[in-house]
Structure 1
Amino acid sequence: MARARNLKPGFFRDAKVVSCSFQARILFQGLWCMADYMGRLKYNPMEVKMEIFPADDVDVPACMEELNSTGLITMYHDCSGAALVQVTNFTKHQNPHVNERQDRNKNPIPCLPGPDEVARSDDEEGEEKPTVEQQVRDALVVLREYSESDPADSLNLIPDSLFPLPDSGFPRTDPPPPAGSAGKQRKLTYPDEFEQAWKEYPKRPGNNKRDACKAWEARVKAGADPDDILAGVQRYAAFCRITGKTGTEFVKQGATFFGPSEHYLDDWTPPPPDGKAPPSNHTGFSDHEYTEHLPDWAKEA
């Protein structure tokens, strides 16, 4: 089987289909894959069985007769006596790939003659045309070459079959537009207050702006003042600049800084430039006289 075909939901409820046996229904679907782009194939019971039921005990001729009697297929012979099959309404329900219908030079690929062509072939006169026998031989060569092509090609779904046809019961949708076309995702926009805070936030590798904005918006929604957040960013930027952390992985991720821990409220007082600790307010205790207000008995003690 060299072709992928469409299987529409209506198939399972079709009156003619449900009147056939289970094996005949499977056979009917298998014939689609064996047929050319016009829904025609050469009929050899053994070949059909090996293609569709290679490991099952199925009476193919009996199933073919079921399909023929219900009008799902038409069985006929050409002038040479070769048995052919036409799948009814094949071109209505199937959308064969363009590579089946024409070659690389856009020339039509031969197909098997239909029942009507065979019936009127003996009556046509005038312009010389290929005989039915020649049409069959040409079409069979094409079928053989197509079936023996790269297996990967024969197993790929036809692109058109991924999009249901209008009469399938489902709306037809167009394929997604290619990358770089008008369907490209719209550029994200951010609040002006966040843009200002992000502009002054210390740089670091891997800082995700979108995640940072989500955290910033969550804080603002919870009642935080954007001006307070901006002031915290400015303090933190000065701290990172003085400590030499700007541009390194030691800078907090924006999503963390604006997160629930509210690091923008921290003091972020940078250490003095000489590296010494700032002078303490708790000095000069030894210069005070702490006993002058004590009672005499306490002083004597």
Structure 2
Amino acid sequence: MARSRNIKPGFFSNEHLAEVDFATRLLFIGMWTEADREGRLEDRPRRLKMALFPADNVDIEKMLADLDHLGFITRYTVGSFKAIQIVNWAKHQNPHVKEAKSTIPAMPEIERCPEKTGASPVQAPDEHGSFPADSLSLDSRFLIPDSLPPSPAPVVGTDLFPKFWKLYPRKVGKDKAEKVWGKLKVTQELFDLMVEALAKQVLTPDWLKDKGQYIPHPSTWLNGKRWEDEIPDIATNVHPFPASRHTGFADRDYTAGLIRREDGTYAF
């Protein structure tokens, strides 16, 4: 169900949003109206397309990937449920006190930053907020993930990320992909599953068309656990046309078996 949300003038001047096209910026605004009071919504590109762009020819999957890559949203999976968390939601919005509680599972947290106060930044359902949500100002900090203290380098899988990066066909956002990789604690067994899935996905039509522009960003692929996706069978019963037998006319000896006459002609 669509909901009313706030938008402030600074949104239109944000230098990070300027990196994406007009339709993607409009999608970002539209996602607020589709998100619940916690800033979560189902990761269903086709449904978003019908809700926000019913009359337009746009690539929602690519637009979501760009927003995720730039840090405006985070795409994640809990079990088989795919969801989206709008980053820094509580800074931008004050949901109505009577708005229904979220039914979408929260994004798994590997590491938590200790809070200085015990109060949650999200307004309780039965309480009225005493201050408005922060405006989307020119300061880029309002639209990118909060800075966190540096976490220790993961022990497991650190030597495997370079191998993954070398294999992944779309090399963008390496730093972000490496951070996600660290949270996953990749073992050799998990790495082997990833490589097996990649070997199949690179042959799918979506990954092959338009010079690979529909290949997910590496961080999106890792965050969404896309190695668990069902991969359609690639047709193997398609054979090339046989070589034509109508060739070599210029090399044939058309006088073979004939008798040459004195006038230079041939006869049987």
Answer with 1 or 2: which has the greater Rg: 1
Question: TM (normalized to structure 2)?
Answer: 0.41
Question: TM (normalized to structure 1)?
Answer: 0.37
Higher RCO, 1 vs 2 (CA within 8 Å, ≥6 residues apart): 2
More helix as a share of residues: 1
